[in-house]
Amino acid sequence: MDKQTEFVLRTIEERDIRFVRLWFTDVLGTLKSVAVAPAELEGAFAEGLGFDGSAIEGFARVYESDMLAKPDPATFAILPWRSESPGVARMFCDILMPDGSPSYADPRYVLKRTLSRAADMGFTFYTHPEVEFYLLRNQPDEGPPEPIDRYGYFDNSPQSVGYDFRRQAITMLEAMGISVEFSHHEGGPGQQEIDLRYADALTTADNLMTFRTVVKEVAIEQGVYATFMPKPFRDAPGSGMHTHVSLFEGDRNAFFEAGAPFQLSKIARSFIAGVLTHAPEITAVTNQWVNSYKRLAGGAEAPAMICWGHNNRSALVRVPMYKPAKGNSTRVEFRSLDSACNPYLAFAVILAAGLAGIERGYELPPGAEDDVWALTPAERRALGMRPLPASLNQAIQEMERSELVAEALGEHVFDFFLRNKQSEWEDYRRQVSQWEIDRYLPTL
Amino acid sequence: MSEQRAATQVGQFARRGFAHPADAAEAWARLPGLDTESVLEALSHAADPDQALAFLVRLADADRSGLAAALADGDEARALTAVLGMSEALGEHLVRHPERVGALGGISVEPPGRDAHRRELLAAVGADPASDAPIARADGAADRLRIAYRDALLGTAVRDLVHGVRIDDTAAELADLADAALEAALAIARSELPADAAPCRLAVIAMGKCGGRELNYVSDVDVIFVAEAVDGADESAALATATRLATTLMRVCGEPTAEGSLWQVDAALRPEGKQGALVRTLASHVGYYERWAKTWEFQALLKARPAAGDTALGAAYADAVAPFVWAAADRDDFVVDVQRMRQRVEDHIPAKEADRQLKLGRGGLRDVEFAVQLLQLVHGRSDVLLRSPTTLSALEALSTWGYVGREDGATLAAAYRFLRSLEHRIQLQSLRRTHVVPDDEADLRRIGRSLGFRTDPVAELTDEWRRHAREVRRIHEKLFYRPLLQAVARLDAGDARLTPEAARERLEALGYTDPQGALRHLESLTSGVSRRAAIQRTLLPVLLGWFADGPDPDAALLGFRRMSDDLGSTPWYLRLLRDESAAAERMARILSSSRYATDLLLRSPDAVSLLADDAELQPRTRQQLMVEALGALQRHDDADGVAGAVRALRRRELFRVAAADLLGLLDTEATMVALTDIADATVAGGLAAAMRAVAQGLPTGELPTRFAVVGMGRFGGAELGYSSDVDVVFVHDPLPGAEDKAASDAAMAIANELRRLLTAPSPDPPLEIDADLRPEGRQGPLVRSLASYAAYYERWSSPWEAQALLRARPVAGDADLGEAFTSLIDPLRWPDGGITDDALREMRRLKARMESERLPRGADPTLHTKQGRGGLADVEWVAQLLQLQHAYDVPPLRTTSTLGALQGAVDAGLLDPRDEEMVVSAWLLASRMRNAVMLARGVPSDSVPTSARDLAAVAYVLGYDAGGDLLEDYRRTTRRARGVVERVFYG
């Protein structure tokens, strides 16, 4: 038994933990949880806990349903929101086949595989997400959503629900060992942003799954509702998850090169070129819902054109202002992601696109100097900017043709994901929206 | 001097072991005053007296009085000549530094020890040995280090050559000396740091042979660097300094200067290998081993030992990583990794010097070291007595505590010692890193003499080397498997032996999932005093290893037990396995990987004799098979007798093909052809028997009609797999004057009799005949006359039927009739001008409907080999569409073969070669998959299996490492093929 496992078992004893929640994530990014008593835990560490994979979205068909969830002791944390004793803790699990080999259906393994490809090239992948979400006064079944306040970007909102909310959410996150870098009121009414500190991509993805749960839990405690829906209001900005990414070679930032333009190394430039080249085909993963595309159509800070810019907030990829003497903080910001993505899969495809750029030595096109939204379509065309897919349907079609995404997700997840999204789109196409009623019924 | 005296002297040199006595006499003459009897005596003991004498002459030229003083002392003369006669490199060193000759006098049996070496080398580079972080102050420190290192090496060589210390002690001293050199190189590196370099703590951890204190005279020294900031200082600046130190250290040791170089320092065992950071903090090392490291990396850590630099940090590192080593065997992938590591050892044999290699390849030194380490990892977690980092000590512990048989342990240790000594002596001559036994006579003579072979050094050395190498080549059976037998067989009482618990532990590590059952089988196979039990006791250690290489060792052991129960008393069986080890290995591979072949084999175990001979594993030609099948008619009067003989023939041939396929002797296409030939012969033999039986039942004794069997589908295309039924249509043609009704009754009787004969219950597998592709399917008559076919096709034929006819091939029966049938259908299947737009649309629609309807409910379309996405049907329809469209004017398309048609389409420019490649790889993969499923599981399936066990077994047959990889590859290959199908077929 390794030290970490011993630590977990000891802590459970000392802290009087009565239940341990084993967490894993389905292919669409929904957190799944199964509670075990501490007595069962040792067995789960050794052999994994059997469960029926066919009951989980995207995991398995009925005939291959036996799967194992094997907790990763390094992810052990006590859940802070169940304040009363007995306590409850959680761990993330890897999903294994009955023979103990990793399951290709496990999003965590998808990311691990891509990370190990990066590791073979000598890289570690770090990410730093800025998560936006809305706080609503009412529950989803209580009529049209009402934001908790009317404040705007960076507004100091003393004694507001939002202020308390952020304070409590951050306290809980920190209690679970998840460092928060920054938090503030975002542009939309009731919209919040919390930035997680940068960490390796697997840890970040685990943290994001925890983060969503914590935010939902705190909202319940405070009698409000938190949503990561990409675009809940027509007239207010959507909830994105701008993510800063960087590659390290050992302890050195591989994106940094002193004296290069924007201090960007050749590796960084090829990485960006890779992300731009493959942007259309990875969009179905980074923006996986019908609703995601309403955010991308919204203008302002949501990127819809494939380009990059230095400190340009309307570009798909932004290279932030370089801070002298901080070579290790060189990074690029990927801006199309939204808060409702599956972070494991999304990080995997972004990394795969970037690595493709490095492996194949893509050249970085010139950066966009201007506000992309201010350009006319003809100007954009002249500058060689392609648009991101405008709908889930377009994104699916781009993805279907992509060897890169098939490679990164693995054939199993690739196939399931496409089928699931196709059926989501089919379902959506049959809807008659309020907009259509309002617009057509009176005149037609 | 007179001629006669010179001649006598030459003879004397010859008697003293000089290889070139005349030259020696001449050289001797150049040493006036030094040419005493005692010097000559000392020379005669040298490994290469000629070389030693030549060096003496050069030393005399350099510093005569110093040499005279050295030679005056008998011990010193002996030491000097021993070194000069064994090592050209050390001789050159002395010639360059003649003042060192005197130092050879007082060399004791006891080595000075690690600390003394360290003090000496640090002093040589002008560093203070008492300092915690000594800095080299001397000019030309790198040269000084080399000189001092060689001086110390002189001492080691004398202890080795003259005092005869054991190989382990020499190897340990070489490691101590390497530690000292690393320390001195670090001191030099410190002296080269810029003044403003941030302070850091750096420890050099020795790995590999240096870590195990079992170093060679010259080999790469494996290290890992670990560094920390000095309390409170900036970590990244400290790491920068440490990286600089490490780089300089490696350069100082490896770079050639005027004084040569020491050895290469290799840091590739660090986390992430050559891609990883050269220097990491302790926490970063630990983090890596917690999350990412592979089993072999833990195996490497077994030897980690602080060698130089910061002592406290080195010790902290050793403490931190030790627990990982002993937890390695608990890791999920341990068994699989171990299996791969065992195979990797054997894969790395450099072909050109394979038979003179001491280190790599099966039975090499590396193999011994690996095998010992694996046993340490398996048993060392529960038994702390096994945790020595040194191979020989570990081997001794394993044998003392019963994990390895005492005698085997001793033999192996002796062999290892000998081979290591041989390696040392080879390296000493030029101090060059080599593990190849030279083939030059003079070299062999020198080395042989140095190892004490004086009468016929070359032959004696070679014999001894081959003898030990033979022992080592059987390392796995000795170390891994034989102790398992001792655990159950209870033969040599008194010896420590593997406890049942340890035996189970080991069987599990070797991949046996039911160790209890395995032990029971072993007990039954080996207990008793019969000759059979005795032979099996010697066979099993080897077989167990081969079984463990396959996906199902448990089934293999059970299969072997059943084979032995059947054949054990047959004299040739055990002899075959014992004497023809290729046959035994092949049998083991088949038993552990294929239920299909195992079933065929167990039905008639004597087929195992086929495995002894490569020629026997070549499929029989169609001609040979036909002769044998039809010959059965002469030997048997009744139809059932003929059918029995034909079906036994088929069973034997199926085993032959399955075995050749499993052993990698047949590719997919050859397998399909061979299986089709077998089916052709079976049908031909069965048909002949049926025709004779029906004729005999008629009053006239003569058949009123001619009869032919036409193969359809994959049978017609000569593309059969192990699980294929044979698709046929039957055609007959009444003889002139025969009555129609009588003719068709006879034909019907023949068809029914044929099917009965080939499927009647029997120990031999049935051959199912499927005639559903006939006109009107199951509703139509089973047999039609040629005229009836003509009438039918004239009136009805649908595009679908024309498509099916593309693969029609006369298989058996009346050849003229078969030809008449094909002439009848040629205009249908190769329609003039291609097919109409209507027919094309109809065909596409039919295919689209089949895709949704033919797939069984719940089947995964990405894994269905027949109807699934990019599966067999997809590809075949592409080929058939191209044939229907173009065969009328592209003759190469007039073939029943799918691959042939696709190739023809490419040649005619009808299909893009890249598209062809994609559909062909999918078609071949799906075909191989179907075959592999049948071979592995013994029952057919249209889907790639998804249960872990079956999938692993199929993956093994197909040569994939893991089932998941196979699924990925299958889905990817077929997805790409489907893309082609969408474009080419659906347009």
Amino acid at the residue B969: D
Cα–Cα distances (Å) from B653 to B275, B292, B430, B676, in that order, read: 52, 49, 58, 11
pLDDT band at residue B856 using 50, 70 and 90 as cut-offs: confident
φ and ψ at B707, to 5 degrees?
-140, 140
State mean pLDDT over B941-947: 88
User: Which pLDDT value is given to residue B499?
Assistant: 81
User: Which pLDDT value is given to residue B345?
Assistant: 55
Query: Cα torsion for A440, A441, A442, A444, to the nearest 10°?
Result: 70
More confident residue, A152 or B400: B400
- Mind listing the pLDDT tens digit of every residue in chain A (444 residues)? 677 888 888 888 888 888 899 999 999 999 998 888 888 888 888 878 888 877 777 776 644 567 889 999 989 988 887 654 568 889 999 998 777 778 888 999 999 999 999 999 989 999 999 999 999 988 888 888 888 887 766 666 665 677 788 888 888 888 888 888 877 877 788 888 999 988 999 999 999 999 999 999 889 888 899 999 999 998 889 999 999 999 999 888 999 988 888 888 999 999 999 999 999 999 999 999 999 999 988 766 667 788 898 877 778 999 887 666 566 788 899 999 999 999 999 999 999 999 999 999 999 988 887 667 677 778 777 777 888 999 999 999 999 999 999 999 999 899 999 999 999 999 999 999 999 999 999 998
pLDDT band at residue B492 using 50, 70 and 90 as cut-offs: low
Q: Which two tokens stand for residue A314?
A: 């309307």
Report the gap between the CA of B973 and the closest CA in chain A (Å). 10
Q: Which two tokens stand for residue A248?
A: 């390290």
Q: Is A63 within 8 Å of B236 when comparing Cβ atoms?
A: no
- CA dihedral (B147, B149, B152, B154) positive or negative: negative
Please name the residue of chain A whose CA is at the shortest distance from the CA of residue B275.
A122
Residues with Cβ within 8 Å of A290's Cβ and at least 6 positions away in sequence, in order, are A391, A392, A424, A425, A428
Nearest 5°: the CA angle B644, B645, B648 is: 85
Please name the residue of chain B whose CA is at the shortest distance from the CA of residue A97.
B948
Instruction: Confirm whether pTM is higher than 0.95.
Output: no
Q: Which residue has the tokens 């659906």?
A: B986
**Is some CB atom of chain B closer than 8 A to the CB atom of A47?**
no
Of the candidates B811, B816, B657, B652, the one whose C-alpha atom is nearest the C-alpha of residue B729 is B811
CB A226 within 8 A of CB A217: no
ω before A86 within 30° of 0 (cis)? yes
Q: In whole angstroms, what is the distance from residue A218 CA to residue B807 CA?
A: 69
Number of neighbours of residue B634 by Cβ within 10 angstroms: 8
What is the three-class DSSP state of B811?
strand
User: Which pLDDT value is given to residue A222?
Assistant: 87
**Residue B431, Ramachandran bin (φ over 0: left; ψ between -120 and 50: alpha; else beta):** left
As a 3-state breakdown, chain B gives helix, strand, coil percent values, each rounded to 5, of 65, 5, 30
Report the gap between the CA of B336 and the closest CA in chain A (Å). 10
Q: Which residue has the tokens 């409850």?
A: A88
Q: Which two tokens stand for residue B232?
A: 């409170």
User: Which pLDDT value is given to residue B909?
Assistant: 95
CB B713 within 8 A of CB B759: no
Number of neighbours of residue A138 by Cβ within 10 angstroms: 14
φ and ψ at A92, to 5 degrees?
-80, 150
State mean pLDDT over B98-124: 89
Read off the DSSP letter of residue A362. P
Residue B963: its chain A contacts at CB < 8 A?
97, 99, 101
User: Which pLDDT value is given to residue B2?
Assistant: 46
Q: What is the number of residues in chain B?
A: 987
Query: Cα torsion for A352, A357, A361, A367, to the nearest 10°?
Result: -160
Number of neighbours of residue B638 by Cβ within 10 angstroms: 12
Does residue B4 carry a pLDDT above 60? no
State mean pLDDT over B18-29: 89
In a mutational test of the B interface, the residue from A65, A110, A329, A411 whose CB has the highest number of chain B CBs within 10 Å is: A411
As a 3-state breakdown, chain A gives helix, strand, coil percent values, each rounded to 5, of 40, 20, 35
B695: buried, middle or exposed (CB in 10 Å: 19+, 13-18, 0-12)? middle
Does residue B921 carry a pLDDT above 90? yes
Q: Is A102 within 8 Å of B964 when comparing Cβ atoms?
A: yes
Cα–Cα distances (Å) from B567 to B550, B553, B558, B573, B605, in that order, read: 23, 21, 14, 6, 7
State mean pLDDT over B931-939: 93
Does residue B546 carry a pLDDT above 70? yes
**Is some CB atom of chain B closer than 8 A to the CB atom of A1?**
yes
User: Which pLDDT value is given to residue A163?
Assistant: 77
Cα–Cα distances (Å) from B889 to B551, B564, B830, in that order, read: 50, 61, 9
B275, B332, B862: residue with CB nearest A411:
B862
Q: Residues of chain B with pLDDT > 70: what percent?
A: 95
Tens digit of pLDDT for each residue in B624-683? 999 999 999 999 999 999 999 999 999 999 999 999 999 999 999 999 999 999 999 999
State mean pLDDT over B597-607: 88
Strand duo B221-229 + A386-387: pairing: unpaired
User: Which pLDDT value is given to residue B116?
Assistant: 94
Cα–Cα distances (Å) from B614 to B233, B306, B619, B625, in that order, read: 70, 53, 10, 18
B residues 694-713 closer than 8 Å to A (CB): none
Q: Which two tokens stand for residue B427?
A: 């390296």
User: Which pLDDT value is given to residue A205?
Assistant: 96
User: Which pLDDT value is given to residue A326?
Assistant: 65
Does residue B972 carry a pLDDT above 60? yes
Tens digit of pLDDT for each residue in B612-624? 888 899 999 999 9
Q: In whole angstroms, what is the distance from residue B236 CA to residue B232 CA?
A: 12
Tens digit of pLDDT for each residue in B458-481? 999 999 998 888 888 777 777 777
Q: In whole angstroms, what is the distance from residue A152 CA to residue A235 CA?
A: 13
**Is some CB atom of chain B closer than 8 A to the CB atom of A411?**
yes
* Average pLDDT value for chain B: 89
pLDDT band at residue B383 using 50, 70 and 90 as cut-offs: confident
Of the candidates A230, A246, A234, the one whose C-alpha atom is nearest the C-alpha of residue A336 is A230
Q: What is the 3-state secondary structure (H, E, C) of B422-446?
A: HHHHHHHHHCCCCCECCCCHHHHHH
Number of neighbours of residue A320 by Cβ within 10 angstroms: 14
Tens digit of pLDDT for each residue in B751-787? 999 999 999 998 889 999 999 988 888 888 999 999 9
Q: Which two tokens stand for residue A293?
A: 């595309």
Q: Is B971 within 8 Å of A101 when comparing Cβ atoms?
A: no
Cα–Cα distances (Å) from A213 to A31, A81, B212, B524, in that order, read: 8, 10, 51, 59
Of the candidates B814, B699, B707, the one whose C-alpha atom is nearest the C-alpha of residue B751 is B707
pLDDT band at residue B351 using 50, 70 and 90 as cut-offs: low
